[in-house]
Each structure stands twice: as C-alpha cells, then as structure tokens.
Structure 1
Amino acid sequence: MERITARVMRTLHKCALPVIIAGAALLAAGCGKSFLELKNPQAIDFDHISDLESLTTASTGVYSLFKQANYYNRTFTLIPELMSDNSFISIKNSGRYLNEDRFTVTNGDSYVTGAWQLMNQVVANANLALAASRTINFSAADQPQANQIIGELYACRALAFFDMVRFFAQPYRFTADASHPGIPIYTEPANQIIYPARETVAKSYQQIIADLKQAETLLDNSKKNGRFTLAAAQALLAKVYLYQEDWVNAELYATKVIDNATYTLLTNQNYVAGWAAKFTAESILEIGNTSTSNSGSDGIGYFTEQTGYGDLLATKDLYDTYTATDVRRKLIVPGVRTGGEAQAYFIKKYPNGVGTKDDNPKVLRKAEVYLIRAEARAELALTDASHQAGALADLNTIVKRADPQAADVALSGQDLVDRVLLERRKELAFEGNRLFDLNRKRKDVVNIQSDAQTTYTYPHNRFIMPIPYDEINANPNMEQNPGWR
C-alpha cells in the first residue's frame, strides 16, 4: 500500500492534483474494502461500490480524511488560532509551525500543502462515491439508509469546499459581487487528467449551499456520532450563510438547529469536563478519533499538552478577556514552561492529547449556533431595531452559561456586533475560527508571538494561505493568490 501511494504521489509534478490525490486517498484510506484497492487512479472501477455496504465503507473512507493531522486533527484547527491573537509557539519548541507563528508562510509550506491535498481528497472521494451511488438499485428496505449515506457524502463535500474557500480565498464580501478567485469546483469523477481553474468565490459558495441543500433533503435527525445529521447540515448552512453575510438565512437555519431538541447546551458545571468527553449533548458534529485510530503525537492535543510537545500556548491577551468567574478560564491554566516562558498559559481544551491521544476536535457546537444567530440578528438590527432583543437574548445565553455572575449585555448597534465577535473569540478559542472571523469582519489581525506583537491591517494578502507550489506547478490553469509567487 505504501509503495503504491508513494508512486502516485511522485507523479504530482506531472499531473493535476485533484485526480491524482483522489487515487492516493482511495489507496491510503485503509478501510479494508475492495473498492479501496484500485490499481490506477485514472481508471476507477465504480463496480467496486455496488451496494449499501460498500457505499457505507466508502463514506467511512471519506470521513477518515477529516481526522488527518493536516486537517482537523491539527493543521486546519491550529493555523487560524496561531496566526491571530489567540495563541503562539513557545520559545522552547519542536520546530513545528514556526512560519505560521511568524506570519512568514511560503507557498511550499508542508502543512498548508497537506491541508490542500486532504481537502481535495475529500472532494474527489466523495465524487467517486456519489457517482457510484447513482448506479445502484437499492432495495426498498435499504433506501432510507442509502439516502442517509448519500446525504452525508454531499455534506462532507460541502464541508471540504467550505474549509478550502475559507483557507485559500478571501471572504465573500472582499469584492462587492464576490467575483474574486475562489476554489476549483469539480463535482464528478474524471476519467482522464483534469486541470481545473478556480471559480469565483460567489460560485464556490453556490456549490457549497447546493450540496448542503441536497444533503438536507436526504439526512435524518437521529444523532450519529462523528457523522453528518440533518442538524449538522443545517448548522453548517447557518455558518455558510453567516460567512456570506446572508443574515436572514443565517438566522433561519440557526433557528432550525436551536429548536432541535436533540442537542442542548452543556451546563456551566459540566462545561470543562465536556472537553475530555466525546459526543456530548452540545456537540453537533465532531471528528471521531478513537484510542486506536488517531493522529497520535501529530494531534493537536499532543501539541498543547505540556507532557507532549506543549509548543502551543495561549496568549495573555486572550486569557485576560475572561472574568475570574468565567468557567472557560479554567481551560487556560497559568504556569511556567520549563526551559521556556516564565509566565505561560497552557491550553486544556484537548486534555487527552498525551494519554489516549484521541481528543475529538469539535466542528460544530450548539453554542456556536447561538452565536451565529446572535451575530445575524445584531447585523439585521443595524437597520431594523426589532432584531436587537433576539440578538441580546442569544448572546446572553452563552455569556451567562459561561459566567452566571456576569451582567447582562445591553449593547446596541455596531457595539453589539463587535461584542458578539468577542464572545466568539472567548467561546470558540482554539477550535479553528479566529483568523477567519477577523478577516470576514474586516478587522486588523494582531499576531502575538512569545516576544513580539505585530498588527496587520485589513485587507491583507497574507490573511489567507497560498495555493501550494505543487498545485501551481502541476496545473497550468491554477491561479495563485495575490501577494504570493
């Protein structure tokens, strides 16, 4: 398996990335079914996905890509926190993510390249499985479960596209009509090498929304640990609409999820312990690691825990945003990093990172959905004051859950919008949102390091990642982001 995958990867300089990577992912996903043991990535035999069982196995292979170290298990979760004001790399470190810490990422960065490859792998493998599903005649008994799996595949593809457009393209309103470069959009498997160009951000979002709307018609509402459900697709839609600044639909879809009784906020008393637990009542979608299937010492927990690498530290600036009675402050523990900072702030959101190494990164939580609706309502209230009370109610739900002694927030106008953004920083710290939030809200980025602090003024070319050199070199139709060679 390793020999074949390496041979496939060595052809990257000759062939466009998505198709080749699709083959590599299918070969390396490790699910043990025959459709994964394909001989040639340009000659996919769809007959290997021929029934509900093999389609389900294919979907498991797609999900397995999200939990790789260069996707949610570390890189994609870490970089938006590191390249902002939430965290930095200790002066005593293992040499990882130093360019991200210093805001000196290059187009050959291995972490960024790895993320690009994995996101494309998710898309390409979902395309293969979806195309195969259209050739299967499911029995009446199997059809409901088949619909669920097909809906999950659409949602997985949408999530990968959304992550890609956030990481590699400027926010939706960067241009008035979102006509700036987005991501390559390809929704069918190719029987030959393809060289996709980037679509506009507008078209990229159209595809993401179309996939999620399709998933919404297929998914059911029962809780499925580590997999998309109806609520997860709707929560992701709410977030997509938020990034698109479609406040009406962001509020609409957030309300669907908030009204869904399957998911509830953790109590103040259970909040801290919830980060060592899996699939809590608040978690709508999280990455399903296990003690035998995880990124090991390459996971984000090993990167934050002091008996592991312990390189990633929280900033004092973030720590000071919490009151002494805010339960979330317990997830940042002041201390001394031996051989490093005399005053350090240790991150405890991934407490299993050294022991079982199986922390589950949270992709969507109900707390975020409340903050999505709060932000949408606060933005709507700028022109229609009737939305203000709802925005305050949603915001205070999260503020008071974290700190029952906190005074009610009673702001209005732009001050209320900014207060929601602050609450997102406090609630979602270290979950992979901060840089994206600052960029889409047109804010300057304060990059805090152990011994330095630099403010980068919005707009900025380096608020997004470069298209990797391997892709630019392989694909003559691929356009690099401005400011990168």
Structure 2
Amino acid sequence: MSSRMYFELAYNYGNEKAGVPIVDRTKEPDSDPVPRAANVMENYNYIVQDLKKAAELLPYQEQLPAKDYGRPHKAAAWALLAKVYLFMKDWQNAAFWANEVMTKGNRNLLTNYADVFKAENNYSSEYIWSVPSTPKFNSVGSILPGVMLENKGWGQYNGWGYFQPTKELYDEYETGDLRRSATILKLGDKFTFNGTERTYASTNSLTGYQFNKYMDAFKYPLNSGHVSANGDYPCTDLAVPIMRYAEVILIRAEALLMMGQNADQEINRIRVRAGLAPKTGCTLADLKHERRCELAGEWADRHRDLVRWGDAQANYAKPLHGINGQTVWAARNFNPSVHNVWAVPQVEIVNSKGVIKQNEGW
C-alpha cells in the first residue's frame, strides 16, 4: 500500500482514540488480524518515517525516463510529508517540507490556471502526484472526468453526472477570478463538446452547474482517443491531479499563519495567477478562501479540511442551493464527536473476528 493511500485511511478512520492497523511490511504476511494502532498519531509518525526514507531514495522527476512519468519522485515525497505534518498540526515541519519542494523540487505554477487540467500538461512543472490514464485501454485511469460529466453526455456519451457544484461554491469566487470559469460551467455558458460548440444546459444537474475542470478531453471528437470508448469506464487522457504545486504553496501558507507568521507572499502567488489583486495581512480566512477556490472539485480533501479546521459542523448545518437560489440539499446534522471519522466497514470487523473495533458512536 502506498503512503498516500495509508494516509487517507489514517485520517478518514483514525483519531485520538484509535488509529488504523500498522502492518509490518518487513515481515512475512501473517494470517492473524492486526489490531488498530492506539491513535492516529502513531499512523502519522509511521507514514513520516516511510516518506523520509522514500525521499532519500527517490530520484527527482526530471531524472525519470518519460515512460516512467507518473511514478514516485523526490518532490512528491516531500510534498506529502508537508501535508501529513499539516494534519499532525506540526506547523514547523509542514512549512519546512513545503519549502523543500518550493526551493529544491524544480516546481513552478503554470501561467494559465486552466492549462493545469489539459493532458498536454500532465507532467508539467505544477505536477506533484496524479492518476495516469490511458483511455485507449478503456479501463485504466481515473474515471473522475466522466463521473463529473452530464449524465448520458447530452445523448452522445455515457457521463455519470454525479458531482454538481453549488451556488455557494460559485459565489465563493471573487469578481475577476479566472478560476471560476475554468472550474464551473453554469447554465448558458458556451463550451465545446465532441468537436462542436454548445450552450450548457442540463437535464441532470440539480444546481444548474457542472464542473468544467475536467472537460478539456471532451472538446475533441469522442472517437479521437482522448476519452475512453467505454462510457461505463469514462476515463480520459488527463492524469487527474491528486496533489499539485499550488497546494504545496497553500500548505506552507497555512503552516506559517498557524505559527503567527506572515503568509502574504505564498497566498499572493496563488491569487495573482488567478488574475486577482494581491492582499496584505492575509489571515486564516484568506487561506481557507484560496484553498477552496484553487482546489475545488479536486482530490484535495475539502471535507477533511473542514474537519481539521473545526468548521465541518457549522458548514454542514447550512442548506445548499442551485443557480436560481433553490434549495437542493437540506442542512445536515454533523456531530464532530462521531462524524469526524468514518465508520469502520463491518466486513473488516467480522473478518478480524472482532480484533478491529468500531469507531465510537457508529
């Protein structure tokens, strides 16, 4: 199991009361079930040591042959270290490892935000980690682009239509923010699909919005090889970002703010690329705003951001709306003492013969 996957398991299921099992990979597989770690910090510390060793051994991305792009590299290990430390609330180390990426990782922001989500930039200077896709094989890669596409693709492709941005997200963007149109299609917007310009309309979206971030591959004729011919596995040739350089910059900004230090330089790198005026005296609220706008619709842990900031209960208590102000999702009850972690799947408890225990309250 990769450190990234293990990290996701840890923060989704682990807390101060119980972590997730730590399996010693240096030993032969054992049929006996492994109990949960005492707490999630044990998991985080294990991941940190794993990533530090990986960072020592891995090459830089540019040292990899092109056929191996998408494999782990040194800057990716540093970046994930920074994120793990952020979740540990170890601000000093989060800032340090983000800075390692920023000063030694040979990374940079692309000039145009929308270009990040084009297949020709899969392994650009902004790349940290992604899910490579090969649509010609119909079943390899991330299906996220097709899952976000209009259900049935306006009669031309088997999109799934599962993800629908809300008015709250749309309104979060400031006037002039170039990220909004790159991220969200709204009713009436012009876009290109299957080689033809269209006006966005939907029989699927409850909100009147669709994510635009992953639509680039669909602008070509659908038989051009940019998307899978199998709509039941609708991947594209985009290596869908799991982590990119902009998030590393925001991790450093957050860590600096948490230590009472100035993060204007970091936050303004993100703002200026988005076509916005720089700010002075940036606060944690500014950081939260930029993280939401920059990373919307990505594998960037929006829910976990709300949990670790202590904002989940208040955010989920608000209803969500569509383009005309209609309520599309009612307020939800989020109890942090229970819902900050997920329920352990019952099959895991059964298979362990009760050695693995359920999270409290579930």
Range class of TM-score, shorter chain: 0.7 to 0.9
* Counterpart check, 1:181 vs 2:26: no
Q: Which residue does the alignment assign to 1:392?
A: 264
Letter in 1 for 2:174: T
- CA deviations on 1:140-190 (whole Å, 9 max, x unpaired) are xxxxxxxxxxxxxxxx2x2121011122224xxxxxxx4x21111002254
Partner of residue 431, structure 1 = 298
Letter in 1 for 2:347: D
Report if the CA contact (8 A) 2:131-2:141 is conserved: no
Identify the residue that residue 117 of structure 2 maps to in structure 1.
275
**What amino acid sits opposite 1:453 in the alignment?**
A
Within the candidate set 466, 477, 482, 2:343 is matched to: 466
Residue identity matched to 2:256: R
- 8 Å Cα contact 1:442/1:458 also seen in 2: no
Q: Which residue in the other structure is 2:356 paired with?
A: 478
Change beyond 3 A, Cα 1:338–1:255: closer
Q: Who is 2:164 aligned against?
A: 313
Contact 2:306 2:312 in 1 (8 A): yes
Task: Give the structure 1 partner of residue 284 of structure 2.
Answer: 417
Q: Is the 8 A contact 2:303 2:312 kept in 1?
A: no
Report the CA distance shift for 1:294/1:456 in structure 2 as closer, same or farther (over 3 A): farther
Deviation of 1:244 (Å) = 0.5
Measure how far apart 1:363 and its partner are: 1.8
Distance 2:91 2:205 in 1: 43
Equivalent positions of 1:396-411 (< 5 A) are 396-403=268-275, 406-411=276-281
The 5 Å alignment of 1:139-218 reads 156=2, 158-170=3-15, 178=16, 180-188=17-25, 189-199=27-37, 200-218=39-57
Q: Provide closer, same or farther for how the CA distance between residues 293 and 283 of structure 1 changes in structure 2, counting only shifts above 3 A.
A: farther
**Are the equivalent residues in 1 in contact too, given 2:161–2:205 (CA < 8 A)?**
no
* 1:443 matched to 2:279: no
Q: Which moved further from structure 2: 329-338 or 292-301?
A: 292-301
Which structure is higher in RCO with an 8 Å CA cutoff and minimum separation 6?
1
AA partner of residue 99 (structure 2)? T
Aligned partner letter, 2:49: A
User: Which structure 1 residue ranges, 4+ long, deviate > 6 Å from structure 2?
Assistant: none
Taking the aligned partners of 2:279 and 2:347, their CA distance within structure 1 comes to: 49
Query: Once the 2 structures are TM-superposed, how far is the Cα of residue 287 of structure 1 from its aligned partner?
Result: 1.2
Structure 2 CA distance for partners of 1:285 and 1:474, relative to 1, 3 Å: same
Structure-1-length-normalised TM-score: 0.59
Partner of residue 128, structure 2: 284
Bigger mean CA deviation after superposition, 391-400 or 320-329: 320-329
1:240 offset after TM fit, Å?
A: 0.5
- In the alignment, is the contact (CA less than 8 A) between 1:264 and 1:281 conserved in 2? yes
Q: Percent identity?
A: 31
The residue number in structure 2 matching 1:348 is 212
Identify if the C-alpha distance between structure 1 residues 439 and 288 changes in structure 2 by more than 3 Å, giving closer, same or farther.
same
Aligned to 1:372: 251
Is this contact kept in 1: 2:113–2:273, CA < 8 A? Answer: no
* Amino acid of the structure 1 residue aligned with 2:118: A
Structure 2 length normalisation: TM-score?
A: 0.78
**C-alpha contact (below 8 Å) 1:392/1:409 kept by paired residues:** yes
Rounded Cα–Cα distance in structure 2 between residues aligned with 1:296 and 1:191:
28
Alignment of 1:10-409 (within 5 A): 122=1, 156=2, 158-170=3-15, 178=16, 180-188=17-25, 189-199=27-37, 200-223=39-62, 224=64, 225-260=69-104, 262-267=106-111, 270-277=112-119, 278-293=122-137, 295=139, 299-306=143-150, 307=153, 308-330=159-181, 331-335=183-187, 338-341=202-205, 344-351=208-215, 352=217, 355-356=227-228, 357-358=235-236, 359-381=238-260, 387-388=261-262, 391-403=263-275, 406-409=276-279
CA deviations on 1:287-330 (whole Å, 9 max, x unpaired) are: 11112356479811111112112231111101111123211111
Q: Would you say the 8 A contact 1:182–1:198 is kept in 2?
A: yes
- Taking only aligned residues, the RMSD between alpha carbons, in angstroms, comes to 2.3
| Number of equivalenced pairs | 307
Report the 3-state secondary structure (helix = DSSP H, G, I; strand = E; otherwise coil) of the residue aligned with 2:296.
coil
In 1, the alpha carbon distance for the partners of 2:76 and 2:142 equals 27
**Structure-2 separation of matches of 1:370 and 1:474:** 42
Q: Deviations over 1:129-150 (max 9, x none)?
A: xxxxxxxxxxxxxxxxxxxxxx
In structure 2, the CA distance between the partners of 1:228 and 1:454, relative to structure 1 (3 Å rule), is same
Q: Is the 8 A contact 1:443 1:457 kept in 2?
A: no
- The structural deviation recorded for 1:457 is 4.9
- For the residues of structure 1 that align with 2:29 and 2:334, how far apart are their CA atoms? 45
**Does the aligned pair in 2 maintain the 1:439–1:458 contact within 8 Å?**
no
Q: Is the CA contact 1:374–1:420 (under 8 Å) kept in the aligned structure 2?
A: yes
Alpha-carbon spacing, 1:482–1:288, altered in 2? closer, same or farther (3 Å): same
Residues 409 and 460 of structure 1: is their aligned pair in 2 closer, same or farther, counting only changes over 3 Å? farther
Q: Say whether the 8 Å CA contact 2:131–2:239 is kept in structure 1.
A: yes
Aligned AA (1:276): K
After TM superposition, give the deviation of residue 256 of structure 1 in Å: 0.6
Distance 1:194 1:361, change over 3 A: farther
TM superposition shift of 1:444: 2.8
